[in-house]
A and B are shown apart, each in its own frame.
Chain A
C-alpha cells in the first residue's frame, strides 16, 4: 500500500473514537502498531496501513496521580491514570473513577464511555466494580 493512500483517509473528525463500549483507533496492517485516536500513517513503520480498530475495553493501570488543583469545570481532587489497553492496545491517559478507594498500580481497569455531550468522553473504573 503506497503512502498516497494517506490522502484518502477520512478526516480526523470523521474517524470514530469509540463504539459506546470501547475506544476505537487504528492498528497498522503492516507492523501491528496501535494508536488512539486513529492515524493516517503508521508511527512505527511509516506505511499508510493503519486500519480502524476497536481496542479491548479492559487494560492495566500503569500509574496514576490525584490532582488537587481545580480547573474551571473540573473540581478537585480528581484522579488521572496512564493505562495500557489489553491485547496490544495503545497507552492512553484518562481519568480513573473509583468508589473513593485508592487505585493501585497494576490494577485491571475497564473503560467507560460517556454520553456524546459529556466531557471527558471516556474514563476508567476498576474492573472489580465493572461487573
Chain B
C-alpha cells in the first residue's frame, strides 16, 4: 500500500509505484513475473484528465509493458471488482501471476470538482440536479433504521469512535487520531444524522495485491492466503421489501466458500460513513436485524474481540481513496491473516471477509463485491 492521506507532491504514478512495488517485493516477485494487470481507478478521468489508458500510463513507470493491462472502473468498488477479474483470469488459466492495483488522487485545487465527480456515482439521467450524493444516501439509510428503532444515534457515535481508535493504530491510515463521543456528536452536521467525524473524506492513496495460481510464487517464507470466494453483484430496482444487495452478494460468497458468517474471524466492511458498519453487521449475517448496536456494545467487533470488524479503521478512518479502497481492504486482511498487522493485530484469524460497495441506485448500492480469504497454514 501507499499510505492513505493527502499527498500534493505525489502523482498517480508515484502513488501507484509505491503500492505495486511494495506488493511485488512482498511476494518475492519481479516485474517480469507479472502476466497481466487489472488497474482500478474511479476518478482520474474527471480529476486529472487522464482517461482511456489510466492503468497503462501508471504501469509504465514501474516497467510493466507488453502484458495485458485492463482498466477497471466500478465506483467505490473498483478495487474489489479488479480483484475479481484477476481471480477469473487465473481460474480461466490465462495467467499465473496477476497484479491488481488501485490508485486515486482526490485532492485537487478545487474541492467542488471532487464533490461533483463523487456525485457522478448515481444514474445522472435520473438524479441529476436534485443534490443527491453519498452522504445523503447514507444519511437516509441510517435515519430509516433509527426511525424503525433498529439503531440509535448513540450507536452511530460509538461506531465512529471505534473507527477512529482503530485508525489511530494503523500507519497506513489517513485519520490517526482518537476522538471522543462528544467530538463526534459536536462536529459539524453533514447530512443528518451524519456529522463530519462519522464520514470518510477526500483522500489520496494506492493499494496493490498480487494474485497467483497455487505454486506460482516460489517464496514460501510467508503464510499463504487463499481466495476462497470472489463474488460481485449489481444493484437492482427494489420495491424496498426485498433482501439488500449486500445480503445477496454475501450469501453467494458464503455458498462459494462453503462457510457461514459464524466462520468469519475478521472483516473489512464498506463504511464510507462509519455507521454503515452497523448496517453491514446485519447484512453480512454477523447479527440479527436490530441487534447491530448490541453487537457493537458487546465488544465483539473491537480489535481484541472475537470477530473484529475494520481493524484498519475502515473507509472512514483508514481513508477512502475510492479506486484503491477495495484493495486496501484485501491488503489489511492479508496482513491480519499472516499475523503482520503489528499494533492492530487481531487474534489468530483464519477466515477474513472483505465487503466493498459502490455507487447508488434508487435505494441500493450500484455495486457490491464480497471476497472471502483464508489463511491455509496453521498458526502454530
A binding-site residues for B, Cβ under 8 Å: 12, 33, 35-37, 43-44, 62-69, 71-72, 74, 78, 80-82, 84, 90-95, 105-106, 119-121, 123
Q: Are B238 and A63 in contact (CB under 8 A)?
A: no
Across the A-B interface, give the 10 residue pairs with the lowest CB-CB distance, nearest first: A65-B139, A63-B144, A119-B129, A105-B147, A63-B140, A120-B129, A120-B130, A65-B191, A43-B237, A68-B189
Residues of A within 8 A of B261 (CB): none
Q: Does B143 contact A (CB under 8 A)?
A: yes
1/0 per residue, CB under 8 A from A, across B119-139: the answer is 100000111011111011001
Residues of A within 8 A of B362 (CB): 82, 90-93
Residues of A within 8 A of B130 (CB): 80, 93-95, 120, 123
CA distance A82 to B116 in the complex (A): 21
Q: Are B240 and A105 in contact (CB under 8 A)?
A: no
Q: Are A67 and B239 in contact (CB under 8 A)?
A: no
Q: Are A43 and B236 in contact (CB under 8 A)?
A: yes
Q: Are A33 and B237 in contact (CB under 8 A)?
A: yes
Partner of A81, one of B140, B193, B194: B140
In the complex, which residue of chain A has the Cβ closest to the Cβ of B144? A63
Interface of B is mostly: mixed
CA distance A44 to B242 in the complex (A): 12
Residues of A within 8 A of B238 (CB): 91
Smallest beta-carbon distance B249→chain A, Å: 18
In the complex, which residue of chain A has the Cβ closest to the Cβ of B148? A105
Given A63-B144, A65-B143, CB of A74 within 8 Å of CB of B131? yes
Q: Does B31 contact A (CB under 8 A)?
A: no
Q: Are B140 and A65 in contact (CB under 8 A)?
A: yes
Partner of A91, one of B112, B116, B194, B239: B239
CA distance A71 to B194 in the complex (A): 17
Smallest beta-carbon distance A9→chain B, Å: 15
Query: B interface, how many residues as a size bin?
Result: 20 to 34
CA distance A64 to B144 in the complex (A): 8
Residues of A within 8 A of B154 (CB): none
In the complex, which residue of chain A has the Cβ closest to the Cβ of B141? A63
CA distance A67 to B239 in the complex (A): 25
Q: Does B190 contact A (CB under 8 A)?
A: yes
Q: Are B190 and A69 in contact (CB under 8 A)?
A: yes
Smallest beta-carbon distance A116→chain B, Å: 13
Residues of B within 8 A of A121 (CB): 129
Smallest beta-carbon distance B2→chain A, Å: 28
In the complex, which residue of chain B has the Cβ closest to the Cβ of A121? B129
Partner of B191, one of A62, A68, A91: A68
Q: Are A69 and B191 in contact (CB under 8 A)?
A: yes
Smallest beta-carbon distance A102→chain B, Å: 10
Q: Are B237 and A90 in contact (CB under 8 A)?
A: yes
CA distance A72 to B144 in the complex (A): 28
- 26 A–B contacts, CB within 8 A, in A order: A37-B125, A37-B126, A63-B140, A64-B140, A65-B135, A65-B139, A67-B131, A67-B191, A68-B188, A69-B190, A71-B133, A72-B112, A78-B131, A80-B136, A82-B140, A84-B240, A91-B238, A91-B240, A91-B363, A93-B132, A93-B362, A95-B130, A105-B143, A105-B144, A105-B147, A120-B130
CA distance A67 to B141 in the complex (A): 14
Smallest beta-carbon distance A58→chain B, Å: 17
Residues of B within 8 A of A91 (CB): 238-240, 362-363
Smallest beta-carbon distance A15→chain B, Å: 11
Given A71-B112, A91-B240, CB of A63 within 8 Å of CB of B147? yes
Partner of A66, one of B191, B236, B239, B363: B191
Q: Are A69 and B141 in contact (CB under 8 A)?
A: no
| Docked complex: B184-220 residues within 8 A CB-CB of A | 188-194
In the complex, which residue of chain B has the Cβ closest to the Cβ of A73? B129
Smallest beta-carbon distance A121→chain B, Å: 7
Partner of B190, one of A43, A68, A92: A68
Residues of B within 8 A of A84 (CB): 240
Q: Are A71 and B240 in contact (CB under 8 A)?
A: no
Smallest beta-carbon distance A90→chain B, Å: 7
CA distance A47 to B362 in the complex (A): 21
Q: Are A12 and B125 in contact (CB under 8 A)?
A: yes
In the complex, which residue of chain A has the Cβ closest to the Cβ of B189? A68
1/0 per residue, CB under 8 A from A, across B154-179: the answer is 00000000000000000000000000
Q: Are A62 and B240 in contact (CB under 8 A)?
A: yes
Partner of A71, one of B115, B143, B188: B115
Given A37-B126, A120-B130, CB of A69 within 8 Å of CB of B144? no
Given A68-B188, A71-B115, A93-B362, CB of A63 within 8 Å of CB of B237? no
CA distance A36 to B140 in the complex (A): 20
